[in-house]
Every structure is written in structure tokens, then in C-alpha cells.
Structure 1
Amino acid sequence: MTIAIRPAAPADAADIDAVLTGCFPRPDEAMLVKQLAIDGELVLVLVAHDEERREVAGLVALSRMQAEIGGDAVPAVAMAPVAVLPEFRRAGVAEALIAGAIEQMRKAGALLLFVLGEPGFYERFGFSAETAQGFDSPYAGPFFMALELQGGLPCGPKGAARHADAFAALAGDA
């Protein structure tokens, strides 16, 4: 298996949909990514492409967030969803996708990368609930984590951390 991580192309749309519907029991995540694209909120989608089988094995989507520290907006991004087809799991595909996403967002100048997920998995990449603590979010709690991408945060109280509107539908808030 030879996996290459690369930015998604328009030709990958059907494969991305297939990965999302193949990874999740309901179509919510596939609809989330479609709505983020329609709304112009996607910052980046990386795909893991199996070069030998010529298929997309997984993906990570990154979308804009509104976050504030000390009353000022800071560049922030949400990482969701992360999906890997079952036959490619436990082979480092998710790790490669997340590492690629972190690297791309650092290069792009994002200050914070937020994720909602299992702490035991995401903490190994540097995500922590402590970094996200204090941000006003409906997802606040032990599974809401953030990663500082530029080596520190500005001084001041943390304010809102709002995901793109498409996330409200996923949470059932629409």
C-alpha cells in the first residue's frame, strides 16, 4: 500500500462522498462537507490516495471558524471530519492526514486548530482540552480540543469559538 496525501481536486468529489458514507452510519458528515463547500467555508480538504489501488482511502476537511481572544478575531480553523475507510485503518492513514492538515494550517498562518474528538487519539498531535478551555462554544468540554499552531496565543480573555453554520445541522441545532 502506497498512500499519498494531497489536496483534494474537483474530480475527487464522488470519492470523498463514498468515503464519508462508507465511514459513518448516517449521511450527516457527507452532508456537512457538501454544505461547507456550498457555503464557501472549506479551507482545505486533504485526501489519502492509495496509489496502487487508485482510490481515495480517507480524508480530512478543514473549515473556517470565528474565534476571539482579548476581543480580537484570531485566525482559527476546525478539523472535521477525519475519515478513513475500514480497510485502510490502523495503517497510519489518519495520522498522515492529520499531520498534513497541521502542517498546511501552520503554513497558512492559522493560529488555532480546533477538533472535537477522542482525547486519547488527538492529544498525541498536541491537541488539548486546556487550550480550548475558556472559549465560548456549544461543544465546550473534554472532547473539544485545540492546538496552537504558531507557538503561542495573544494575551487576553478567550471569547467565542464558532464553527461554520453547517455544523449546527450536524448537531441537530438547525
Structure 2
Amino acid sequence: MSDVTVQTTSPDDYPEVANLVERAFGETGEVELISRLRENNDVLLELVARKNGILAGHILFSRVKITGKNHDAVALAPLAVLPKFQKQGVGSLLIQTAHTELVAAGETLSLVLGDPAYYGRFGYEHLRAAGFESAYQGEYLQALAFADAPSTGVLQYALAFGAL
């Protein structure tokens, strides 16, 4: 994927990101989530991928508190790839690049609410998330531990998720 570059999202990218996310999901709920996360300073990591100069994908991670354990985790949400670039490795490159940056920053646990078949390819498992209490608990809640991290506690997502 030498024609794809990944970089930190800048404010200049925001309008393009909103358009991409709306086109990828077919509605504006995730666009509103991103906006609220930014407004509340809850964005931990936000990356964009460009293929031949065209914005092709976007990924965002926000902070999750694990109450009762005095531990932090991160939530992957959302991940979006422009439909014409889907199934070309853009999403995979975004996830892998983000994971590398998160590990380097000392993060130990990532959570995602999504398709187990897709996110399982990157090591996310429901079994790893099954011990957490969460409004999102179920087979689609998955976790990936980068290092030693709790496997129980109450997940407290950023307030922006409550509006979904």
C-alpha cells in the first residue's frame, strides 16, 4: 500500500472527514459523535489515510475509564473508509498504524463495538471484553490487550457516546 499515507488528522481535514464518514456510514450519527468528542477534548488519537492524495479513511480513539480499577483504556470509534476504497487495506492500515502509536504511548487496552469477523483479524475478542460491565456489553463488544490490563470493571465511555 505504498500509495497510501497515514497521518494525524488536522483541523483542515475536518470537513473532508465529515463527508467521508457520512458517505461510509450512510448517515450522520458518527459525524456527530466525532464532533462531540472533539468539542469535549475526548479525542486521544485521530488519523486519516490518503490514497493518491484523496482522503480514503479515518480512525478515532477516545478515552475509556475503567471504574473500580483506576485504569484507562481506549475506544476505537469510528473507523470509516470511503466506499470506493473499501476492501483495499485502507482500514487495516489505519488500525495497524493506530495500534503502533497507542502501544508507543503506553496504552494497554483497546475496546471496539463492531463486527467480530472484521475486528477479530486484529486481535480483538469478545472473550477479552466479556468481564466488563457496559451499556454496550454483548457479542459485538471486543477488547484487545497490548499489555497487562484489567479484564473486569465498569467501562465509562466519553459522554459523547451517550447521545448515540
Match of 1:144 in 2: 141
Equivalent of 2:160 in 153, 160, 166: 166
1:12-64: CA deviation from partner (whole Å, max 9, x where unpaired): 111111111111122000000000000000011110112x2x22111001001
1:106-142: CA deviation from partner (whole Å, max 9, x where unpaired): 1111111000011111111111111111111011111
Match of 2:99 in 1: 102
1:49-99: CA deviation from partner (whole Å, max 9, x where unpaired): 12x2x221110010011114xx32212000000000011011100000111
Write the distance in 2 (CA, Å) between the matches of 1:95 and 1:45: 15
Match of 1:80 in 2: 77
Task: Find the residue that maps to 1:40 and give its secondary structure.
Answer: coil
* RMSD, aligned α-carbons: 1.3
Write the distance in 2 (CA, Å) between the matches of 1:142 and 1:134: 12
Write the distance in 2 (CA, Å) between the matches of 1:142 and 1:123: 12
Native 8 Å contact 1:60 1:81 kept in 2: yes
Number of residues of Structure 1 aligned to a counterpart in Structure 2: 163
Match of 2:113 in 1: 116
TM-superposed CA distance for 1:101, in Å, is 1.4
- AA partner of residue 161 (structure 1): L
TM-score by length of structure 1 reads 0.89
Task: Find the residue that maps to 1:43 and give its secondary structure.
Answer: strand
Residue pairs, 1:1-174, within 5 angstroms: 2-50=3-51, 52=52, 54-68=53-67, 71-150=68-147, 152-154=148-150, 158-170=152-164
Write the distance in 2 (CA, Å) between the matches of 1:10 and 1:55: 16
TM-score by length of structure 2 reads 0.95
Write the distance in 2 (CA, Å) between the matches of 1:131 and 1:101: 20
- AA partner of residue 153 (structure 2): G
Task: Find the residue that maps to 2:133 and give its secondary structure.
Answer: coil
Identity %: 35
Write the distance in 2 (CA, Å) between the matches of 1:27 and 1:153: 33
Task: Find the residue that maps to 1:75 and give its secondary structure.
Answer: strand
Write the distance in 1 (CA, Å) between the matches of 2:34 and 2:4: 22
